[in-house]
């Protein structure tokens, strides 16, 4: 058991180190204030290089419903944490204001906030809102940075 754990660490270690170096370069190259990207229409085409995260129609609709119940406007935060059954997991939360290192993606007045480190893991992804028999919630429907994940779509493996 220890040898398999050790070999896993030896295989994953360089990948994680490379990702940390990449994210450090992102942090040092971005300005100290939040950066806002607006999507003009759902059919707009963006290249992977633009580090864009899209919002689906269902996501925008549900966020507008949630905002109608709130006194202050809320933004949807997407962050990535280590863990989950596939290595990394998506975390969604509602927030009132962005942090200095955040990128803000906006569509039809709905804002999605992603910190610069998490952005490296979700670049080119689409955030959706789904309602199923067993649960309903926000999820990342498409993520070009992921090579696999669990069936509940709450965790993923990176390329």
3-state secondary structure of 26: helix
pLDDT of residue 22: 61
**Beta carbons within 8 Å of 14's beta carbon, 6+ residues apart:** none
List the helix and strand counts (H, then E) for the chain. 3, 10
Phi then psi dihedrals of residue 2, to 5 deg: -65, -35
Q: What is the pLDDT of residues 67-105, one digit of tens each?
A: 888 778 899 999 988 876 667 788 899 999 999 889 999
- Domains within the chain, CATH numbers bracketed: 54-153 (2.60.300.12)
State the Cα–Cα distance between residues 11 and 150, nearest whole angstrom: 20
State the Cα–Cα distance between residues 90 and 88, nearest whole angstrom: 7
Phi then psi dihedrals of residue 120, to 5 deg: -60, -25
Q: pLDDT-derived band of residue 12, with 50, 70 and 90 as boundaries?
A: low
Q: Is the pLDDT score of 20 beyond 60?
A: yes
Q: Range with the lowest mean pLDDT among 17-21, 38-42, 52-56, 142-146?
A: 38-42
Chain-centre distance for alpha carbon 103: 11
State the Cα–Cα distance between residues 144 and 48, nearest whole angstrom: 9
Q: Whose structure tokens read 């295989």?
A: 11
Q: Is the pLDDT score of 44 beyond 60?
A: no
Q: Please check whether residue 158 is in contact with residue 145, taking contact to mean a CB–CB distance below 8 angstroms.
A: yes
């Amino acid at each position: 058991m220890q040898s398999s754990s050790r070999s896993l660490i030896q295989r994953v270690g360089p990948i994680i180190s490379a990702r940390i170096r990449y994210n450090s370069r992102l942090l040092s190259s971005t300005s100290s204030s939040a950066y806002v990207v607006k999507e003009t229409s759902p059919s707009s085409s963006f290249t992977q290089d633009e580090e864009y995260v899209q919002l689906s129609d269902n996501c925008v609709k549900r966020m507008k419903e949630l905002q109608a119940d709130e006194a202050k406007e809320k933004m949807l935060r997407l962050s990535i944490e280590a863990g989950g059954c596939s290595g990394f997991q998506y975390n969604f939360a509602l927030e009132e204001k962005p942090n200095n290192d955040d990128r803000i993606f906006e569509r039809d007045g709905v804002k999605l906030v992603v910190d610069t480190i998490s952005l490296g893991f979700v670049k080119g992804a689409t955030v959706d809102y789904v309602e199923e028999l067993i649960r309903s919630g926000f999820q990342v429907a498409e993520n070009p940075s992921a090579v696999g994940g669990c069936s509940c779509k709450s965790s993923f493996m990176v390329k």
